[in-house]
Structure 1
Amino acid sequence: MPARLLLIRHGQTPGNVAQVFRGLESAQEPLDDTGHAQAKVLGAALVRLNLPRPRLYASPYLRAQQTGQHLSDVLGLPLHTLEGVHEIFTGDWMGRPYSAMQTHAHEMTAPDGQFGYPGGESLAQVGERFHSALVSLNPQDGKTLLVVSHGAALVSVMARLLGRDVRTAWLSGEFAHANTAVTELLWNGEGQPTVLRLADASHLPDQALRF
């Protein structure tokens, strides 16, 4: 039986509001007040799902850990750190606005020659490391795996899982996740998963909480 896999973006941070790329120091960026509120609302929504055999994981970055801790508290689950699902390294684009992804997409070539960040990672690299991390969880036997990750990382792994061109997926916004949005899949670690819902943020009824 395939696992029920919930991929979750962390709550809002000051960097999300500023709309500027940060370097590796962003690993220690915390949630802001809105981000904490978003995570609490998500936790209440997940409780109502009565998830079977849940296990909770988060990226090692602080904003994912804080989001995961809110879920841990309300679900009564231990929070495990999962390596490989952290955010993309933006390299030479540190300090540039998010809008440069649209206006200067022609410059986005990573050192491996693929679509990504000069001096940083390609989205394909991120998708591969994220996919390997998910496989390591042995997604079978009807477990529910909750994984708190990051915006670009989620786009990357969704393109990898569904066999989509990652550049097209990135530029179209097809897999873009608002803060604390949830994608739910059925997957056994092989082949393409079944998508049950994609980037769902319906647990945030207040539009002011959506960033």
Structure 2
Amino acid sequence: MEQLRWLAVVRHGLSTGNALAEAAETGGCEVIDIPERDADVPLSDTGREQARAVGKWLADLDERPEVAVVSPYLRARQTAEIALDGSGVPMVVDERLRDRELGILDLLTGRGVQNRLPDEFARRARLGKFYYRPPGGESWADVLLRLRALLRELAEDHPGGRVLLFAHEAIVLMVRYLAERLSEAELMRIAHDTTVANCSISTWRRQDATLRADLFNDVGHLHAEGAPPTRQEDVDAEPV
């Protein structure tokens, strides 16, 4: 990854699933009633406006990315398609950027896991987010294996290049873990303190053979373009 000159990752815009999950969590429900499979959850109208704001940010860059690599999940592809429209930046879909697979925990709220799967709730608490793998799903460490492979391949294919990713909250956090060579404890502290905003932008620039952070979880472009606020956007970008 040291061979990349610039790396950025955008979380997808607000999806219909995000809104349903928020309502289920705040309403004390045990199950999130999302009709589509996770890969097919689309953007909401708000998410589309957020994606257009990312497109304006992209158009204002002094130097554009050579390629955009995108999660195959619909909400990420829609975000990329809207943001990249007219930019001339080629888009490549790569399944290694898909969201973390939750297995048996899929569609359960925190309350739902505690009440319906108490043994898994306890096992997750004991192992921690980084190493806990739900039955049929992935741990954060599992996701890092595929992400490491992708970033290494991109560095080989684009030496000294500029690469833009469109993906998911967990991917944003794990790109930071890899780019900044964080420890598990440092990553967990960031994850605990940070809600990665929909259509937030995080960027790293190569300095002295390492990637140094420019932005993390930045939403200034959303406010500048008047994109409708969501709960995630109210989180301030963490200074880096």
- One-letter code aligned to 2:203: E
Is it true that 1:127 corresponds to 2:144 in the alignment?
A: yes
1:197 to 215, 223, 228: 215
The residue aligned with 1:11 is: 13
Measure the CA separation in 1 of the matches of 2:34 and 2:213: 31
CA contact (8 A) 1:53 1:142 kept: no
Task: List per-residue Cα deviations over 1:62-102 (Å, max 9, x = no partner).
Answer: 11111111122131222111231110001111221267799
1:151 equivalent in alignment to 2:169: yes
Aligned-pair Cα RMSD in Å: 3.3
Letter in 2 for 1:154: V
Aligned partner of residue 88 in structure 1, secondary structure = coil
Residue in 1 aligned with 2:24?
A: none
Which of these two proteins has the greater Rg computed from alpha carbons? Answer: 2
Residue 173 (structure 1) shift = 3.2
User: Structure 1: how far apart are the matches of 2:174 and 2:6?
Assistant: 19
- Percent of aligned pairs with the same amino acid: 25
Question: Unpaired segments of 5 or more residues in structure 2?
Answer: 22-31, 233-240
Partner of 1:92: 104
- From the superposition, tell whether residues 72 and 208 of structure 1 become closer, same or farther in structure 2 (CA, over 3 Å): closer
d(CA) in 2 for partners of 1:124 and 1:47?
Answer: 35
Match of 2:61 in 1: 49
Report the 3-state secondary structure (helix = DSSP H, G, I; strand = E; otherwise coil) of the residue aligned with 1:11: coil
Unaligned runs of 5+ in 1: none
Structure 2: which amino acid aligns with 1:85?
L
Structure 1 residue 147 displacement after superposition: 0.5
Residues 9 and 177, structure 1, Cα contact 8 Å, conserved in 2: yes
**Aligned residues of 2:4 and 2:155 also touching (Cα < 8 A):** no
> Aligned residue pairs: how many?
206
Deviation at 1:123, TM superposition (A): 0.7
TM-score w.r.t. the length of structure 2 is: 0.73
